[in-house]
A and B are shown apart, each in its own frame.
Chain A
Amino acid sequence: MLKDVLLNLGLSNEQVEKVLSCYILESFKEETLVNKVKEIFNFLESFGYDKNQIVKIVASYPSIFSFSIEKLENKINELMEIGYKFEEIKGMVLSASHLLGHGIDNIKKKINFLESMGYTKEQILKITFMAPKIYGFSTANMSIMMNNIMSLGYSKKDFVRITVLNPNIYCYDFNTLKTRIDNLVELGYERKQVLQMILHTPQFFCYNLSSIKERINFLEEFGYTKSQIIQLTVKNPFIFVFSKDTFKEKINSMKALGYTNLQIIKLTMEAPNVLSLTIDNIKKKIDDMKVLGYTKEQIIQMTSKFGSIYTYSIDNMKKKLKDMISLGYTKDQVLALSFSFPVLFGLSFDNLKEKIGFLKSIGIDSIILDYPNHLMQSVELMYARYKYLTLEKEITIDESNAYLLFKGEKSFNKSYGVCKSDLLEKYNYDIDVRQKEKQKLKELK
């Protein structure tokens, strides 16, 4: 009779056998069990599960039929008191119905233990929601997993980070995880790099070797060198998350926009975050930049040099251009400057204002239109060298010899026998200029 009821409810023969052989249910009379089965099915239905989900729950945890509805209701309430939301509990029971069999004291004990391992309460709720099976592990096993992962070279804090981002690591066999690391080392990564990738993207720990190889092959076919693939993926292991088709589609769309393979490689090497943008986002940014005054060809070139531009908002870019104009350049000059030196968008206005202000004060601010890379040198060093050359070497600095201010440290030292740190100490921009300006402002107030 019970068998027929279970079959009618949708369980397979195999699942029915599993239920019938559950020893906890042996002490119940068949008639009682039939009623309980119907009660539990109705209860789970009232919870919002569909028929297939209910079959999954009861088949993986037949002991549920030994519970009273009151006991189940209490368990749900207790879990909610711990901090889970109703929908979360629904998901947890579906993926690990054994959860209903854990006593609430046991669950609380595990939470305390996880807290002692370094997790916050919020993190514990998150990891156990994502991997409710954790409640089924003994505290000894949890400690073993932590020690094992730490034995790879991670700190306790790293372990917490890794498992918060990928709690399923608790469910893996440590030797399998170790083998995955070895496999990646065989592919050309240094052990240190693999550990770094796992720390950045712990989901990466669980990818299988063949899917990683498949993506590497695709990148190689596209034109990335082995060393570039390693660089790109070490810094951005999330690339392995993309399916080969998604990646291909994205790259083809970029080619359709006008990028060459080489430009795509350069752009993604410098700003791999661009790979996580949708092609519509990229198109929109190109349109917005056209409104700012760049041509499409210029935008392609600029972003190939400095792909991070794609992550700046258009308002941010507008502000940067406006700020530069406020420093005395024309709009055309600023557009040309930012085209040849797009890194400009990554510098703060205060930084630029000080440098350009100083160059203006010595009459050579126009040099940055021809040599925008000079903006990569600190105002402190520009000032110290300027003072040294004009005061001690009696050299008049103008546009023709302004390059002297921007020489590399070694060659400057070789030419004049004075090192950067001595110059910075002797002619201290902070004391001579910044602090004096502050003082003046104070006096004015």
Chain B
Amino acid sequence: MFELFNIGIDEENVGFMIESNPNIRDMSSEEILDRVELLNQIGCDERKIRNILIGNPWYLDRCISDVVASINKLNELGLTRIDLMIDDNPMLLNVDEFEINDFVNSKLEEGYDMDEIIDMIDENSNVIVE
């Protein structure tokens, strides 16, 4: 949990994060650092990482391979700068690959083309779960 302080999240926000996701209290340093490292790899700097974790404390107990699969899916669709997308919608990290597929497929069925669907996600990534 001290890792959260190390990346600059203040005590008040760490408290809010734990209230929302009490599992954080039982997480090992390794588990937290693995998830912080993944955000680093996506291109997030410390400022973004702080914003993301404060906004979405549930990300910390997500399974890393699930998150990687979703990010790969977004890349595959042609979406770029996923770091910015996540910074603006930290909840995007809770979306699974199959949810992205389901969203894309449902929009294709509604008659949208791929470019329009990608734009929808790009404008407001929350549409995937809305």
Where the two chains meet, the residues of A that have a C-beta atom closer than 8 Å to any C-beta of B are: 190, 193, 196, 199-200, 227, 231, 234-235, 269-270, 273, 305, 308, 311-313, 315-316, 319, 343, 346-348, 350-351, 373, 375-378, 380-381, 406-411, 419-421, 424
Are A193 and B91 in contact, CB atoms less than 8 angstroms apart?
no
A-B contact count (CB 8 A): 106
B125 and A420 contacting across the interface, CB-CB below 8 Å: no
**A316-B16 in contact given A196-B66, A235-B96, A350-B47 (Cβ < 8 Å):** yes
Top 3 A-B pairs ranked by shortest CB distance?
A: A408-B119, A378-B84, A348-B51
Query: Interface majority SS on A: helix, strand, loop or mixed?
Result: helix
Contact partner, A311, options B20, B81, B120, Cβ 8 Å: B20
Type the 1/0 row for B80-114, where 1 means its CB is closer than 8 Å to any CB of A. Answer: 11001101111100001011001000000000000
Chain B's closest residue to A316 (CB) is: B16
- Interface secondary structure of B, over-half rule: helix
- Selected contact of A196 from candidates B19, B54, B63, B123, CB within 8 Å: B63
Is B123 a contact partner of A406 (Cβ separation < 8 A)?
yes
| CA A348 to CA B9, docked complex, whole Å | 11
With A343-B126, A347-B55, A378-B88 given, is the CB distance from A193 to B98 under 8 Å? yes
Contacts of B85 in A (CB 8 A): 378
Contact B16 A424 (CB under 8 A): no
Partner of A424, one of B51, B81, B116: B81
Q: How far is the CA of A270 from the CA of B129 in the complex (A)?
A: 7
Q: How far is the CB of A301 from chain B (nearest CB, A)?
A: 13
State in angstroms the CA–CA spacing of A376 and B52 once bound together: 13
CB neighbours of B81 from chain A (8 A): 378, 381, 420-421, 424
Set of chain A residues within 8 Å of B12, measured between Cβ atoms: 319
How far apart are the CA atoms of A45 and B116 in the complex, in Å? 74
> Is there contact, CB below 8 Å, between B19 and A316?
yes
